[in-house]
């Protein structure tokens, strides 16, 4: 295709969301061009934990994560080893009887949504599954359909799938402007029937009224300790940490990696694009992890890093048509769930672009929906 030709679709951003959208649109037979200012999977996608998780902060979030998990499980057999897919399941940890009540409520919510979670574990069963957890915890909910991947490799693979269907990718190509059915990269205008703004935190620079703010998070990874942890372990308090936009927070969230390393999270801060390491928050995050897993004190941390979740006030991504500009669609604002929800987002975008009825009502994700006032200016 020459420069003067019109593409069917241009996807801006080759993070995991853009890669998944490019794949879905290419699989629908569209001629797709992907424009990426850096390199594939190199931004927030590279900073993520890679937990594929059903989340129930709202019915819309549960519907999108459930759809996405089903799509990841369908893909599992095709994923190459580099994607490190591990169907390890999640254990939602309850510290006391009050949290065990929350565990049972969560189990009912998940069951109602068709998500398998038959097992509520008591203290002894939890300890048998995860011996490095401290004693005295009340129990946990096991969600066996959750898993773990290595996000940047997943983005590369999804985009390779799109390229196998004719998609063209231009890395180190920044989009400077979006107009009706066209984008500008430097002096060059490119045209397409469909423009998908999947630029993550960068989406706002191209579509300025999008309500996305950066939400910083730190992670730490240990040396190799195979078998140290067997499931993704998350404290129930994580939900409150993820939900609350007005404060800095840390929560216990630990993951087994294919390498035998232990990935430790997580923190949330609204500090704009301040990329410095917040040693105090990192310390609090590690202290909290050690409170749940005292044996972590004897492990070596080999690396820490931070990334910026593209967050919205109502914790839901922006997925759908952007009416003010002809041909423009938004797939951005996935906060701490974009690895999980990339496939579901791509399915919804492809369904809407192709005129199919999406799997469920998507109005909760409308990019121009009314949002509650931001509690904190970031």
d(CA 252, CA 264): 8
Alpha carbon 100 to its chain's center: 27
Q: Cβ 363 to ligand FAD, closest distance in Å?
A: 21
Tokens of 86: 């591990």
Interface with ligand FAD includes 49 (CB under 6 A)? Answer: yes
Is the CB of 132 or the CB of 207 nearer to ligand FAD?
207
Q: Which of 217, 327, 344, 367 binds ligand FAD (CB under 6 A)?
A: 217
**Which of 56-64, 84-92, 202-210, 289-297 is the region at the interface with ligand FAD (rule: CB under 6 A)?**
202-210
Torsion sign over Cα 54, 59, 61, 65: positive
Q: Which of 18, 145, 237, 344 binds ligand FAD (CB under 6 A)?
A: 18
**In this structure, are residues 265 and 49 in contact, taking their beta carbons and an 8 Å threshold?**
yes
Q: Which of residues 255-314 bind ligand FAD (CB under 6 A)?
A: 266, 307-310
**Which of 88-96, 195-203, 223-231, 347-355 is the region at the interface with ligand FAD (rule: CB under 6 A)?**
195-203
Q: Which of residues 303-342 bind ligand FAD (CB under 6 A)?
A: 307-310, 332, 334-340
Which of 194, 202, 195 lies closest to 178, judged by CA?
195
Burial class (CB in 10 A: 0-12, 13-18, 19+), 165: middle
Q: Which of 30, 43, 212, 327 binds ligand FAD (CB under 6 A)?
A: 43
Q: Are strands 328-332 and 188-197 parallel, antiparallel or unpaired?
A: parallel
**Which of 6-14, 23-31, 271-279, 282-290 is the region at the interface with ligand FAD (rule: CB under 6 A)?**
6-14
d(CA 160, CA 166): 10
Tokens of 135: 């004693």
* Contact positions vs ligand FAD (CB under 6 A): 12-18, 35-38, 42-45, 47-51, 174-175, 198-202, 205-206, 217, 219, 266, 307-310, 332, 334-340
């Amino acid at each position: 295709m020459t420069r003067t030709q019109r593409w069917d679709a241009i996807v801006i951003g080759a993070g995991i969301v853009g890669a998944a959208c490019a794949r879905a649109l290419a699989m629908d037979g569209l001629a797709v061009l992907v424009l990426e200012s850096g390199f594939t999977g190199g931004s927030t996608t590279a900073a993520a934990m890679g937990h594929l998780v059903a989340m129930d902060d709202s019915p819309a979030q549960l519907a999108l994560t459930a759809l996405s998990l089903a799509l990841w499980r369908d893909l599992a057999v095709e994923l190459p080893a580099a994607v490190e897919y591990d169907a390890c399941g999640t254990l939602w940890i309850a510290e006391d009887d009050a949290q065990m009540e929350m565990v049972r409520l969560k189990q009912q919510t998940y069951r109602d949504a068709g998500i398998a979670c038959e097992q509520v574990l008591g203290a002894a069963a939890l300890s048998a599954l995860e011996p490095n957890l401290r004693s005295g915890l009340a129990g946990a909910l096991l969600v066996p359909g959750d898993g773990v991947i290595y996000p940047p490799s997943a983005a590369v693979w999804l985009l390779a799938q799109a390229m196998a269907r004719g998609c063209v990718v231009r890395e180190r190509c920044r989009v400077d402007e979006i107009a009706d059915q066209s984008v500008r990269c430097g002096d060059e205008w490119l045209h397409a029937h469909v423009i998908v703004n999947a630029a993550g935190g960068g989406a706002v620079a191209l579509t300025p009224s999008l309500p996305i703010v950066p939400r910083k998070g730190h992670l730490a990874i240990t040396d190799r300790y195979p078998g140290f942890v067997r499931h993704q372990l998350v404290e129930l308090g994580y939900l409150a940490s993820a939900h609350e936009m007005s404060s800095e927070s840390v929560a216990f969230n630990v993951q087994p990696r294919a390498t035998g390393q232990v990935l430790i999270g997580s923190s949330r801060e609204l500090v704009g694009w301040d990329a410095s390491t917040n040693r105090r928050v990192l310390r609090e995050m590690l202290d909290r992890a050690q409170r749940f897993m005292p044996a972590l004190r004897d492990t070596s941390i080999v690396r820490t890093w931070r990334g910026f979740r593209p967050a919205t006030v109502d914790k839901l991504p922006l997925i759908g048509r952007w009416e003010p500009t002809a041909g423009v669609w938004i797939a951005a604002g996935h906060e701490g769930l974009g690895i999980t929800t990339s496939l579901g987002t791509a399915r919804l975008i492809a369904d809407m672009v192709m005129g199919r009825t999406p799997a469920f009502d998507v109005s909760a994700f409308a990019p121009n929906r009314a949002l509650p006032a931001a509690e904190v200016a970031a």
